[in-house]
Structures are given as C-alpha cells and as structure tokens.
Structure 1
C-alpha cells in the first residue's frame, strides 16, 4: 500500500468582473476548454456536469500525448462555492480535493482557491523528506495554477486569452 500525506495549497486572486462570471469559467465547457489544464487549440475533450455527483473531464493533447484530468463535483453553490475532486488517472489513482470560493467585492470579486494535494511517499522517507516533498509538490502545483489563473483572468475580463509562444 502506498503511503501518502496531504499538503494544502491556498491562493487568492481578484477579478474585475462579477462573481457569476468567474464561477461560470469554472463550470461552463466553452470557457473551461480555454484555460483549465488545457488551451483551446490543444483541447480534445471538455465535459462538465456542474451538479453534486456530476463529473468533469479535460483531455489536452501536447507533444504527441493526451493528458486527461477528471473529477467529481461535491459542492455546487453558484456563484460563490465549488468543491470538486481532481485526478490524472494516467499518473495515479489518487485524487485531490479542490475548493473554489468566490466573494463579491465592491468592484469585482475575490477568488480563494484551496487544493488538498495528496503527496506520495517513497519508501524509507524520514519526516524531513516528507516536509521537503510537501514544499516541492506545493511549489510545482502553485506554479501550474498561477499560469492557469493568468489565463482565467484574461478570459473573464477580456473574453479571450493571449497564449504565450514558447
């Protein structure tokens, strides 16, 4: 049996649009396929059933490979709260929990994002190895979301995403 532990990533972002627009970007297929784990021109599949027990799926095609992300909605409270699972089955059968809370502000809204990241332990790890892994997994996950949230902000505030060319 694989040993695991949980580390928590918390991020906040502000948007110059109403909470409903940000919530919609998390649940509407046409918006999801432009920013969440994918880009519109590399997206092969985007599905979303935003109801408790409903599922979501993204398949992104990069460098000749398909990357699949799936999950199930646990809480759907438009436009302020969304809780869902996140899994990439080609890498692991483990899943993370993600909570998105969106609070209206006087102008725009603030999104609070929390991911409970499941960290896989290697055999013989000491406590300091686990702590180091927590920081590394959190840093890598935060970097990925940082770039996705830049796209999310562009999408909800301007209606389009300018993808960087690498």
Structure 2
C-alpha cells in the first residue's frame, strides 16, 4: 500500500514566475530546502525525460533526491519522479499545479506512491516548509 500527500499554498506571484522557479537550478538551490537548512546543490536538465539531482543539507546531514521530469506544461503543471532515502529508494511521483488566483497563484504539490505513512508524514512536513521557502524567496526577490 502506498501513501499520498497534498500540500498547497497561495503565493503572491504570477504562475509563470513560480513555475520557472521549479526548473531553474540556481533558484531551486535557494528555496528547495527545509527551514534552517543550508542552500541545496541542484543539477537539472529541465525537459521531459531529463533528470535532476537535489542535494539538501540539513542538521542531520545530506539527503540526495533524484528523478526525471515527466510533464512540463508551463505555467500549469509539472510532474516528476522523486526518489531518496526517505522514499526507501523507490520512485514516487510529484505533481505540482499552478492556479492563478487574483494577484497570486495557488501552488499545489500532490505527492503519490510514497512507501508508507511515515514517509507521507515526513514529506507533508517537508513540502509545507519548502512551499514556505518558495514564498519567502519570491517575496524577497520581488522587494529587491
């Protein structure tokens, strides 16, 4: 049996800008991390079938996440596989949607095929913090 997590956040930025931040390795390095973690190291080939690697550096050490892009539909939807020690080395699937909402965008992360409830719980907390990092990064960049 696999588990699923859905996390969403309304971010005051256009869908195109948020979508692009998910494919730009330099941008991902800044916000794709848990609260209090060091910036990540990101290598990405952002095209359908292209692969990525995100190394997050936290209090408990490094965690490498790898996968491949399955859907890139700018600025509406992004889907990719996601594998790390927290998915027990098994490919899970992340679908991110971007829905314009007035002067902002609702970003929803739908993560499926997680191996168990413990992995789902960790990923729900992780994606919640990561969307917060994305919002802070977009807000700070806009203010600069």
TM range (shorter): 0.7 to 0.9
- 2:136 is aligned, of 144, 154, 163, to 154
Question: C-alpha separation between the residues in 1 aligned to 2:105 and 2:112?
Answer: 23
Structure 1, residues 106-158: CA drift from partner, whole Å, max 9, x if none?
221111210004225xxxxxxxxxxxxx2x43232211111111111011122
Question: C-alpha separation between the residues in 1 aligned to 2:68 and 2:87?
Answer: 18
Report the secondary structure of 1:159's partner residue. Answer: helix
The structure having more radius of gyration, on CA atoms, is 1
Query: Do residues 143 (structure 1) and 103 (structure 2) align?
Result: no
Name structure 1 gaps, 5 residues minimum: 121-133, 161-166
> Which residue of the partner structure matches residue 17 of structure 1?
13
Mapped contact 1:73–1:83 kept (Cα < 8 A): yes
> RMSD across aligned C-alpha pairs, in angstroms?
2.5
Structure 2 length normalisation: TM-score?
Answer: 0.85
Show structure 1 runs of 4+ deviating over 2 A. 41-45, 60-66, 89-93, 136-140
Bigger strand share: 2
Structure 1, residues 28-86: CA drift from partner, whole Å, max 9, x if none?
111100121368x8346311111100111112344584321111000001111100000
Query: Do residues 67 (structure 1) and 63 (structure 2) align?
Result: yes
Question: C-alpha separation between the residues in 1 aligned to 2:52 and 2:87?
Answer: 18
Report the secondary structure of 2:48's partner residue. Answer: coil
Relative contact order higher in (CA < 8 Å, ≥ 6 apart): 2
> Which residue of the partner structure matches residue 28 of structure 2?
32
